[in-house]
Amino acid sequence: MSENKSSSSLLKSIIYGVVFGVLTGVLWAYLNPVPIIPGMIHLRLFSFIPPVVGIIFGMKAGFFSGYIGTVVWGLLAGTFIPIHSLIGDGIGVGFTGLIPAMMVGAKYSLADIAEKKNIMWKSLLWSVLAGVIMIIISCGSLAILGIFDFWWGVFWIGIADIPTICLTPFIAKYLAKKLQNVNSIDEMRA
């Protein structure tokens, strides 16, 4: 029975990850109106989605949300670079969903996330740290491929992603309040 429950939970995590990944990629591709470096880097208004998905729906869903979102965005926006998008950027953005989920989402119930203020600060800390790790991985990949200088990329992608990643604790708290009584989500998060 527990093996059945475990495979069902894994399947739900993957489904949530795919759904939120596609949503993330589409939103990044079509609703990023503020160019920071025109044609290259736009303010990612939805960079909070992978960490929020990770905290609310679990580590697997968070990672897949970021990874798939990056691939979908690259394909739709015409910026897909196979080695970079699938390895460097995909894994780096996947970490923005995985790390906050490991450090916050897996440790607390949705009721705790909804009610305890100190969890908001932990959520902010781990989401920003995951964003910095993602930026380093992504910019390292772009620098190795000769697309642009590492520190130049760190600066501009940092400006594009970190401000909206800082919205994570507020959105996670709001969603946790709304979803805390949905038993299947807590089972999946375990």
Residue 187 lies in a domain: no
Q: Judge whether 12 lies within some domain.
A: yes
| Res 26 pLDDT > 90 | yes
Cα–Cα distance between 123 and 62 in angstroms, integer?
14
Name the 3-class secondary structure at 41.
Answer: strand
Asked, for residue 63, whether it belongs to a domain, the answer is: yes
**What's the domain range around 169?**
2-181
**pLDDT tens track for 120-171:** 999 999 999 999 999 999 999 999 999 889 999 999 999 999 999 999 999 9
> Quick one: tokens of 39?
């044609």
The tens digit of pLDDT for each residue in 64-116 reads 999 999 999 989 988 888 888 899 999 999 999 999 999 999 999 999 999 99
pLDDT for residue 189: 66
Q: What does the block give as tokens for 99? A: 């790390």
CA distances to 12, 21, 93, 156 from 43, rounded to whole Å, are 31, 18, 15, 9
DSSP bridge pairs for 35: 42
Residue 189 lies in a domain: no
Give every CB contact of residue 84 below 8 A, 6+ residues apart in sequence.
138, 141, 142, 145, 147
Taking a C-beta distance cutoff of 8 angstroms, is the pair 81, 35 a contact? no
Has residue 38 got a pLDDT over 80? no
Q: How many domains does the chain have?
A: 1
CATH of the domain at 156: 1.10.1760.20
> Which is more confidently placed, 25 or 32?
25
Query: Is pLDDT above 70 for 190?
Result: no
Q: Who's near 132: CB < 8 A, 6+ residues apart? A: 158, 162
* 184 confidence band (pLDDT: 50, 70, 90): low
| Residue 15 belongs to a domain | yes
32 inside domain? yes
- Please give the span between the terminal C-alpha atoms of the chain, in angstroms, as a whole number: 16
At 115 the pLDDT is: 93
Q: What is the pLDDT of residue 31?
A: 82
pLDDT confidence of residue 116? 93
CB 186 within 8 A of CB 152: no
SS3 35: strand
- In-domain check, residue 146: yes
Of the two residues 161 and 35, the one the predictor is more confident about is 161
Count Cβ neighbours within 10 Å for each residue of 63-81 and write b for 16 or more, e otherwise: bbbbbbbbbbbbeeeebbe
Residue 143 located in a structural domain: yes
